[in-house]
Amino acid sequence: MKFIVTGSAGFIGFHLARRLLADGQTVHGIDGFTAYYDRDLKHARNKILEASDKFTPHVAMLEDMTAVHEIFERVRPDIVVHLAAQAGVRYSLTNPSAYIESNLVGTFNILELVRKFPVRHLIAASTSSVYGMETASVFAEQTATDRPVSLYAATKKSTEVISHAYSHLFGIPTTFTRFFTVYGPWGRPDMALYSFVADISKGRPIDVYGEGRMSRDFTYIDDVVEALSRLVDVVPSDGGPQIADDTLSPIAPWRVVNIGNGAPVKLMDFVASIEKHVGAKANIRLLPMQPGDVASTHADTRLLQSLTGFQPNTSLDDGVGAFMDWYRDYTATTTVS
């Protein structure tokens, strides 16, 4: 099958594209190589993908409808996995327009293109941030998502709603995946694991928000990719839920699925694991929660298990260890601040 993966030089997009290529699929990657974080890391990921003759890179911003239309018209994909987005909760406080352009306009353009060039399945990324400050102990897909506390979450929730309308009106089989704190090798430098490792390794202090009392459902990248690859063939169809707790819409071939480890970890335990693998103690500055942050995330993964037979299960310690192996190799040949 022919895949288009948007954000193919990004963290999750790179790993998914590499998995699809290993499985013998043809992949066309679209990435804008924005300056949100180190472009060298994006180019290093892209170079690995380009080693495959089944991978074709396309440099384009999704907001540029003309450029992306030309790609879709030429490729005519069977599957689109839309992972490109302006990520990060805190950055949305200082550059909100980037989220409107990338997440809303970019996703709208993808929806228009899969309407014009029908695909077997559109899979698109959402986030656990859509659950906001809900007090449920576990976030099931049916948990309310109507009160986002960051612009990032608001734009992702908006893309879910807009895509449902498109799915209903034009019969686009669509799955939205809500990712819970994805981490692992080749991760983004702005994410906690990368920044904590870099700072602890260099003896710099780390800022731990929420006075260290927050917790996150950390999900290892290989588990995310396994879940996505299995969901490719779980194509939503009209008719409403067929299994318990299904989110399949009664009026559209559309559903939403959590992808998380299902086992939240306290931030201080997260820091302790990093200290163990770095081999150094952290100089910790405990700070209040930042605007847009949530206290805790915990994924209910029963629907993912029912649909795919898969449950993410990589332990945090194993995942942090794998990240450290990659980080040491990468920084040995790269200048990292």
Q: According to the model, what pLDDT value does residue 335 have? A: 65
With tokens 């480890």, the residue in question is: 261
Q: According to the model, what pLDDT value does residue 337 have? A: 52
Q: According to the model, what pLDDT value does residue 102 have? A: 95
As a dihedral over the C-alpha atoms of residue 217, residue 134, residue 88, residue 218, rounded to 10 degrees, the angle is: 0
Burial (Cβ within 10 Å: 0-12, 13-18, ≥19) of residue 138: middle
Q: Which residues contact 95 (CB under 8 A, 6 or more apart)?
A: none
**CATH top-level class for 2-180+220-259+298-313?**
alpha beta
131 part of the active site: no
Please report, as a single letter, which amino acid is at residue 205: P
State the catalytic residue, choosing from 36, 37, 99, 152: 152
As a dihedral over the C-alpha atoms of residue 107, residue 113, residue 118, residue 119, rounded to 10 degrees, the angle is: -40
Give the Cα separation of 315 and 289 in Å (integer).
Answer: 26
Token output for 114: 């899969």
pLDDT in tens, 267-295: 999 999 999 999 999 999 999 887 877 87
Measured between alpha carbons, how far is residue 299 from residues 57, 229, 281 in Å?
Answer: 33, 19, 30
**What pairing do the DSSP bridges indicate for beta strands 265-266 and 215-216?**
antiparallel
The 8 Å CB, 24+ separation contacts for 34-37 are: 34/61, 34/86, 36/86, 36/87, 36/88, 36/91, 36/98, 36/190, 37/188, 37/189, 37/190
pLDDT tens string for the chain (337 positions)? 999 999 999 999 999 999 999 999 999 999 999 988 899 999 999 999 999 999 999 999 999 999 999 999 999 999 999 999 998 888 888 899 999 999 999 999 999 999 999 999 999 999 999 998 887 779 999 999 999 999 999 999 999 999 999 999 999 999 999 999 999 999 999 999 999 999 999 999 999 988 788 899 999 999 999 999 999 999 999 776 778 889 999 999 999 999 999 999 999 999 999 999 999 999 999 998 878 778 789 999 999 999 999 999 999 999 999 999 999 999 988 765 5
- Cβ 222 vs Cβ 184: under 8 Å: yes
- Cβ 58 vs Cβ 28: under 8 Å: yes
The residue ranges of every structural domain in the chain are 2-180+220-259+298-313
